[in-house]
Amino acid sequence: MPPDESVVDARFLAHDSLRDGQREMINDAFKVITEGGFMLANAPTGIGKTAAALSAALTVSRENGGMQVLFMTGRQSQHRIVVDTVRHINERLPEGDSKVTLVDMIGQNGMCINELALQHGGRFRQICGELRGTRKCKPFLEDSPGLRLKVLQDPLHVDELVNVSRNYRSSEGPQPTCPWKIARETASQADILVCDYNHLFNEDTRNSSLEAMGLNMEDMIVIIDEAHNLPDRIRRGLSRTLNDKLLRDTVYELEEYCESLSEGGLNSTLEEANFSRARACSTALKRFKGRLSTWIREQRDALRNPGDVGAEIEVRVEADYILSMLRQELSGDISGESIDLTGLIGQLFLVQVDPDEDEDEMATDRLATVLSILDKYAQSPAMCVVLTSRGDENRITTHLLDPGIVSSEVFSAVYGGVLMSGTLTPPEMYAESLAIPVSKPVGTASYPSPFLADRRPVLIASNVTSKYTERGPENTRKIRQHIQSLLQNTPGHVAVFCQSYRMLEDVVEEGDWPGRMILLESRNWTKKRVDSALQQLRDARLRGTKVLLAGVFGGRLSEGVDYSDNILDAVVCVGIPVAPQSVPQNALREYIEKKHGRGKGWKYGALQPAVNSVLQGMGRAIRKVEDRAFILLLDHRLLSGQYRACLPPTLTTIKVDEAKRTGRWAKQFFERHPEPAKGD
């Protein structure tokens, strides 16, 4: 079919007709990307933002031969949506147009077809590297050109790619082939690569993966989905911990490494030098461990009041001072070896031993990483290093305050792209936080929701809050009354999201919910457990069982989960998850205030991210235009002032002052819309 006439120049449309807002987004993105810039789109669920971004990006990339689209998302569940959208695009292409090709990939561990995939992360990486290095991994050694052609013939989800690779047969018989290798080998030939944020925003991954896949940043058009998560994702990527246990385990691994070298025989000058350096590093770190412990004890004693032996202290410290203590130990007379900090870090990365089963990676790797971060950002005001002490536990943690230090390098190098989310609000905040280059064209827009207020009423209760000074038994009782009133008038499943696990326990776990099956999220829930919970919701609907699904903002259930088939009838958001006062949080606000302007420290650093978490929770129930859901927000602060100003201006809300009114609104709503929408 021909493209919608109202779309200027853009092609590759996934739908016969375009939704309100989707058409605008395609045109806006196409114009900005064509000029080599970035479009920041606050696009609500249901607008079809994935299809819009792909249409604009693919049109520009095809018109500029050799360009490639990188579709990046932080959650594996989002990959399937991209692949399905590209399949729809291919179905609608005019005869004679070449199909859009796509490679979908995740981490190496997640794509492994050997039993090795069952190994813990650090152990997997070590064994996989050894097997590939010694040419003992048969699937990795296989050369399967027919499989590479199959990958480029039609888009495959990563799980389909893994299955096809595991069961691949050539003319000579079964030929299982490493799907991770196939993905990397075909990535440069595909129009689209679907991958994690790390491929661009983690420097080590970027340096190792892009060149290996034959990709050039200047030829990339990037689409960043759920872009509201990117600043924190970058910050977390540089958040590391240094403590006594890490130093102890590192020394143990160095000694084990030296022992294995000695047992194998030092058969060359290189092996002897490696052994000598590893032993010298071990000796230096033992002394540093003692010196650091003494310094921490001095800091702790100076800050604590007499008698407050168990009280927690939290104080910002200088990275330079910590490194200076380490450098002094390295420069001492250590077996005749002269080792600087760079040499220590390099030696730690060389160590190969069996990692602790409880750890994702070896202690030597973790220490090398935290020392690298301290060294690189020692002079930067954008890095906050914090000493925390409570009882016998002491730790030093790194906190990146400015994600733009990392992302600016990426956005300056790539051709252009789209950053989008249903809660990229306000988009200008993210343009500043991520340091989108002002030298390139930048567009920002918030698109209207395609949902009528009648299909998604949003109620805000005026008589409850999560504000610390107003909490108490009576406030909790009123919160439960609102939830109970909603449950009594809702025909299907209801999700409740709270601002913390403590509040989840107080409000939900200790409440009485007759007639409801309870699914309560815990801190250790995995993706597999989330998938299981979604299946439980589907099975319960078929049985006629009503479920109360309960989780926390920013947890496994409140973001990035696709509750398809209108499986949730209602969502309740309890409170506003404003980050508590802490040394790194205060440092973040102060840094933003200095860099971006007065008043922005509080809004950018605490308030807007908290409200956006509420908006993410609200959005779980509505995934497409036909869905219907009842939304209840339990915090009166959202009715006025600075909190209200953080809500989208297009959001219409209804004020209720008691639980009975909540129940009446819910009853009327479900009388008008008794049945959930069916089908994706």
Residues 83, 115 within the same domain: no
Tell me the two tokens of residue 83. 């692949």
CA atoms of 230 and 407, how far apart (whole Å): 9
In a domain, residue 678? The reply is no
- Judge whether 381 lies within some domain: no
In terms of domains, do 166 and 255 share one? no
424-443 average pLDDT score: 95
| Long-range contacts from 514-519, C-beta under 8 angstroms, 24+ separation | 515/487, 515/546, 516/487, 516/546, 516/547, 516/548, 517/545, 517/546, 517/547, 517/548, 518/547, 518/548, 518/550, 519/547, 519/548, 519/549, 519/550
Note whether 342 and 435 are same-domain residues.
no
Q: Hey, is 669 helix, strand or coil?
A: helix
Which of 104-118, 347-361, 452-466, 600-614 has the largest mean confidence? 600-614
Range 366-388 average pLDDT: 95
Is 55 part of any domain? yes
Co-location of 462 and 441 in the same domain: no
Last residue of a domain, one of 187, 220, 251: 187
Find the range with the poorest average confidence among 167-181, 303-317, 376-390, 638-652.
303-317
Q: Give dist(CA 395, CA 615) in Å, integer.
A: 34
Average pLDDT value for residue range 214-221: 95
Q: Kindly state whether residues 159 and 278 are assigned to the same domain.
A: no
* One domain for residues 252 and 326: yes
Phi and psi (nearest 5°) for 460? -125, 125
How much is the average pLDDT of 142-166? 92
Read off the pLDDT of each residue in 569-583 and give the average, rounded to a whole number. Answer: 95
What one-letter code names the amino acid at 59? T
Residue 490 lies in a domain: yes
Considering the domain boundaries, does residue 328 fall inside one? yes
- Confidence (pLDDT) at 2: 44
Q: Name the 3-class secondary structure at 315.
A: strand
Q: What count of Cα atoms within 13 Å lies in the side-chain half-sphere of residue 399? A: 22
- Sheet harboring 547-552: ordered strands across? 517-520, 547-552, 494-498, 570-574, 630-634, 458-461, 654-656
Mean pLDDT for 255-274 is 81
- Continuous segment of H or E residues that includes residue 383: strand 383-390
Whether 3 shows a pLDDT value over 70: the answer reads: no
In this prediction, residues 603-629 reach a mean pLDDT of: 91
Domain-embedded: residue 395: no
- DSSP per-residue letters across 442-490: EEEEEPPPSS-GGGS-EEEESS----GGG-SHHHHHHHHHHHHHHHHT-
The average pLDDT across 389-404 equals 92
CATH assignment at residue 517: 3.40.50.300
The larger pLDDT score, comparing residue 445 to residue 333, is at 445
d(CA 680, CA 671): 23
Stretch 194-220: mean pLDDT: 92
Across the chain, what does the average pLDDT equal? 90
Same domain, 509 and 616: yes
- Choosing from 149, 166, 187, the residue where a domain stops is 187
The reply to whether 175 and 277 lie within a common domain is no
Q: Is residue 525 situated within a structural domain?
A: yes
- Amino acid 1: pLDDT: 37
Q: What angle do CA 352, 399, 503 make, to 5 degrees?
A: 105
- What's the rounded Cα separation, in Å, for the pair 275 and 645? 62
Q: In the structure, how many helices (H) and strands (E) does the chain have? A: 27, 20
pLDDT number for residue 77: 74
Burial of 171 (0-12, 13-18, 19+ CB in 10 A): exposed
Domain count for the chain:
4
Q: With contact defined as beta carbons under 8 Å apart, do 19 and 48 qualify?
A: yes
Helix, strand, coil percentages (3-state) for the chain, rounded to 5, are 50, 15, 35
Determine the structural domain holding residue 130 and report its residue range.
Answer: 108-187
For the residues of 538-590, what is the DSSP string, one character each? HHHHHHT--EEEEEETTSTTTSS----TT--SEEEEES--PPPP-HHHHHHHH
Angle among Cα 79, 84, 86 to the nearest 5 degrees reads 100
Highest averaged pLDDT of the listed ranges 351-365, 436-450, 530-544, 553-567: 530-544
Q: Percent of the chain, pLDDT > 70? A: 94
Token pair listed for 564: 């398809």
Name the burial class of residue 318, with classes exposed (0-12), middle (13-18) and buried (19+) by CB atoms within 10 angstroms of its CB.
exposed
Say if residue 25's pLDDT is above 80: yes
Q: What average pLDDT does the segment 256-272 reach? A: 80
Q: What angle do CA 247, 250, 254 make, to 5 degrees?
A: 140
Indicate if 656 and 589 belong to the same structural domain. yes
Tell me, yes or no, whether 389 lies in a domain. Answer: no
224 and 137 in a single domain? The answer is no
Question: Do residues 142 and 269 both lie within one domain?
Answer: no
Q: Is the pLDDT of residue 18 over 60?
A: yes
Of the residues 376, 410, 436, the one at which a domain ends: 376
* List of residues 6+ apart from 573 with CB closer than 8 A: 497, 553, 614, 617, 618, 631, 632, 633, 634, 635
554 and 414 inside one domain? no
Whether the pLDDT of residue 410 is over 90: the answer is: yes
